[in-house]
A and B are shown apart, each in its own frame.
Chain A
């Protein structure tokens, strides 16, 4: 299969910005996502159903394109963690925002992933992407073989390379900066998630209160009692709208800034991985250089060759990485800006609506008095 992908470096047959994850079907423990995309040729649409395993397959393919020069310098669009149907608290924590709500945030995240893959100049050339998006048959659902690019969670010794001094000041800076940003973004996302969670709790509490108020309504002809009942019912309505307000505030938070921060944080991770891969290559290169210098004449030629190969590879990686970082910086600012603006607009709208509603309630109460 690898070979096929290699040869066919065609452009995708769909509009990359038309890719949507529209639906999610729950079947036992497996979630199936419906992916819709517009055909470039004409008006038709591709509808395919994919499981999370298919996404993993796609990512795996993207990772393992060994023929593409400098592939390791690519910041791979991050695939969200596997969703859990019966989520434990730990996995929820891992998923962050994506665990909230009825899978919409998760779909959004998958959508973002696919769009980024599709728009990526290098990755979109991969045949697997086309297959994933258009083929009605599910792509090979075979067990994915472990890849070295898989995750950061590799050997502990590898981690030491993180601190390796870079030869290039640009990358050194980028690495340092990335380290700080990753941490910050992660905490920010977590804190924001806490805020949203609390808002949801408040919404629930308001709902309870509103329901409980209904129980206070006493039947009876007594005008005093009726007056009190009216107050209760009205107050119940007030709390219902407070609940609505809180719910939509929380929703806005999730759908805009929440997703934005989540994506940002995952992207920072991806960048970090990429930088790490490059650093690994650097270490490898340096080792090769040393070996070549120290090598006995017999082995000298072979060593030199290894060194040369490593050098070219490193050069390629660095070149791609530089491009990727620049692209990424622009993209993430734009993404965050978009998130912030739409967040702000939505919250503003919600606040205005709520204010209107509260005003109406207030008028009603004043009228009652």
Chain B
């Protein structure tokens, strides 16, 4: 009941407090109720449901249940109600909702099955089921969900029934949770993680099956139908965190389900103290493992991102978040279940998920079906206020995007802005955020001044290529692709103007200072590295940086020579033409002018070759120099995390000392405070330690991914380069072959 009241904070302000404070109690009650509920319905329907899906059985009862009790609250509870009333309803409902309970009981079956079967196998089966069902009910769910959402936000009256429904659905989830919890405690952690997730998926199938109830219900009067929309939404949205998010993407269509899903997790990460204290306390390890595994989309550290993404979500739309919070808050134990649910929800998008799952299984295959190109640089404006705008075209089959292809115009500072956002969000977690090309005052000034010489076009082209590769790296990163800012950047017609360029260069200055301080702290922080791997990697990165810089200089000089060659060839062609025209001997004259033509063509070839060198090698190496900087940045973040942990540890030490002193001095009043502080710092230490470990793991994974990508990318580039080289050589052969008879014809 506390949970139900939390749904609508304004009418029941105290109850929320209650919830926060007495979560333990509430949960206990909840679970008790669940037990009760569980006891009665489970026996009867389970037998019927063992083999068949809920479809038949569930079809009927829910419609009854939902009609009966829901209409009642709808009419009666429009006004302010005492907290007791919903709770009553709640009980009624829960009793009635045998189907739901049955669904829950199904989990028992599953638990059994899980015991015997292997996790992976089932995972696949489940997936298939889910996709079918989810797609079926998708549309209906949307239909039913969209209006309740608006209703909820608009009216408070509607909240009342909703509360009830949420209340009644809650037991479902808690019930689900119970077997799961058992499972958790029984099996080994790894297996646990797998099993519950798939089990949950199935459970949700069932419930989605109950979604399909929409069909029978739709035959009923319109009023009921609308009514149904609410319960439907609530059943899914409210208790199951992730499901509540499902309608949201549908409604907004901008956020992918997957990010939503991840956002579900974070809440528990970010607000473990108040909302999830219980869940965290009872099954902290379990939840985390479930997080990682069940998401499928994400790798193990994804939990971290959740925190970041969650905050984003919060800032983006507070109303929904409130709801989400409530949703996640109510079922304390269901927290783990919400994630699997999310995973199952994500399944309606088979390509994405498959890809993503592959990514999880073997990182080799992190090629997403997305291709971003940056084209048509265009100067906008005049003078020093001019800027270059680029066309950013995306081609994708990922369902997280609204269209298969779309194009937006972005200016350079937008690219920088995206990077700033990404690095702020993901950098501290140890991710290697691909850096965009640097601002170039000189290059841009040239462009601005409008000199149409080769160096400025070269500059623009180089930058265009760099931006394109930058974006491709971003979208090819499994985690960064999920970032709402990335999607916004790719999709949204008008971006809010990124921080002004001026400010950015100011930021650059600040960054420089930061870097300087970092360097100082790096020197002062003597990290006694426990992990040899990191030590070695850091050294490797440093030396690779050196080598890449050297290579870059060499390639640049090669390019300079190539350009020189093309210039010289051009002038030789000109003088050959002149010689030809001065020549008396007609055959020789002809041959010489032919020669001039051949040389002209060769000049073209040399030019292309220079461009080829530039874009394949020079730019690639420049990219890697930048990327290595990012890699080092991730190492720094890891070190910072370590530092924080160490600081917290020493702080804790100090607090303990003061406690000892106080104890000795026998000051009980202050002692209490000191104890509290110690507890607080102990929590912090464990938190920071976990943070550090997480960041370390992320960095490690990212570096490995980076290296693998590097090799792959190099190979790809070299093949492209060789193809060009071969082609130009063949072209050359053609030229010579054409010229040979001309030379022989001289007599």
Give the B-binding residues of A (Cβ under 8 A).
Answer: 177, 180-181, 184-185, 187-188, 190-192, 194-195, 198-199, 201-202, 205-206, 208-209, 212-213, 215-216, 218, 224-225, 227-228, 231, 234-235, 238, 242, 329, 333, 336-337, 340-341, 343-345, 347-348, 351-352, 354-355, 358-359, 361-362, 365-366, 368-369
Please report which residues of chain B, range 536-576, place their CB below 8 angstroms from some CB of chain A when the two chains form the complex.
540, 544, 547, 550-551, 554-555, 557-558, 561-562, 564-565, 568-569, 571-572, 574-576
Report the bound CA distance from A177 to B582 in whole Å: 8
Across the interface, A184 reaches (CB within 8 A) one of B551, B575, B587, B744, namely: B575
User: Total interface residues on B, using CB and 8 Å?
Assistant: 56
0/1 interface trace, chain B 358-392, chain A, CB 8 Å (1 if under) = 00000000000000000000000000000000000
Inter-chain CA distance A216–B632, complex, in Å, is 18
Q: Is B509 in contact with chain A by the CB < 8 A criterion?
A: no
Contacts known (A199-B565, A369-B715); A347 close to B736, Cβ less than 8 A: yes
CB of B739 closer than 8 Å to a CB of A: yes
Is there an interface contact between B561 and A341, defined as CB atoms closer than 8 Å? no
Q: Which residues of the other chain, B, contact A224 by a CB distance below 8 angstroms?
A: 704, 707-708, 711
Q: How far is the CA of A201 from the CA of B554 in the complex (A)?
A: 12
Cα–Cα distance between A242 and B169 once the two chains are bound (Å): 71
Q: Does B714 contact A (CB under 8 A)?
A: yes
Q: Which of the residues A195, A218, A336, A365 comes within 8 Å of B719, measured between beta carbons?
A: A365
Give 18 pairs: A residue, B residue, CB < 8 Å, sorted on A.
A180-B582, A181-B579, A184-B578, A187-B575, A188-B575, A191-B568, A191-B575, A195-B572, A202-B561, A202-B565, A205-B554, A205-B561, A209-B551, A216-B551, A333-B746, A337-B591, A345-B740, A351-B729
Q: Is the interface of A mostly helix, strand, loop or mixed?
A: helix
Contact B572 A362 (CB under 8 A): no
Interchain nearest-CB distance for A261 vs B (Å): 9
For the complex of A and B, list the 3 residue pairs with the smallest distance between their C-beta atoms, beginning with the closest: A191-B572, A340-B743, A337-B746
A337 and B747 contacting across the interface, CB-CB below 8 Å: yes
Query: A209 to B575, Cβ gap below 8 A?
Result: no
**CB within 8 Å of A: which of B453-478?**
none
A225 to B706, CA, bound (A): 11
A213-B551, A215-B547, A351-B729 given; A344·B579 CB < 8 A: no
The reply to whether the CB of B512 lies closer than 8 angstroms to some CB of chain A is: no
> Contact between B583 and A340 (Cβ–Cβ < 8 Å)?
no
Given A195-B568, A198-B568, A228-B710, answer yes or no on A362-B740 (Cβ-Cβ < 8 Å).
no
Q: Are A344 and B740 in contact (CB under 8 A)?
A: yes
Among A343, A345, A358, A369, which residue has the most Cβ atoms of chain B within 10 A? A358
Contact call B568/A336, Cβ cutoff below 8 A: no
List B residues 65-116 near A (Cβ within 8 Å): none
Question: Which one of A181, A212, A329 has the greatest number of beta carbons of chain B within 10 Å?
Answer: A212
A198–B585 touching, CB < 8 Å: no
User: Cβ of B588 < 8 Å from any Cβ of A?
Assistant: yes
B585 touches A188 (CB 8 A): no
- CB contacts (< 8 Å) of A358 on chain B: these are 722, 725-726, 729
Q: Which residues of B contact A355 (CB under 8 A)?
A: 726, 729-730, 733
Report B-chain residues with C-beta under 8 Å of the C-beta of A337. Answer: 588, 591, 743-744, 746-747
Interface residues of B in 571-620 (CB under 8 A from A): 571-572, 574-576, 578-579, 582-585, 587-588, 591, 595
The complex places the Cα of A340 from the Cα of B599 at a distance, in Å, of 13
Q: Which residues of B contact A185 (CB under 8 A)?
A: 579
Bound CA–CA A10/B561 (angstroms): 54
- A218-B540, A361-B722, A362-B723 known; A348+B558 contact, CB < 8 A: no
B142 in contact (CB, < 8 A): no
Q: CA–CA, A235 to B550, complex, Å?
A: 16
Tell me the bound Cα distance from A99 to B111 in angstroms: 88
Interchain CB contact under 8 A, A198 and B564: yes
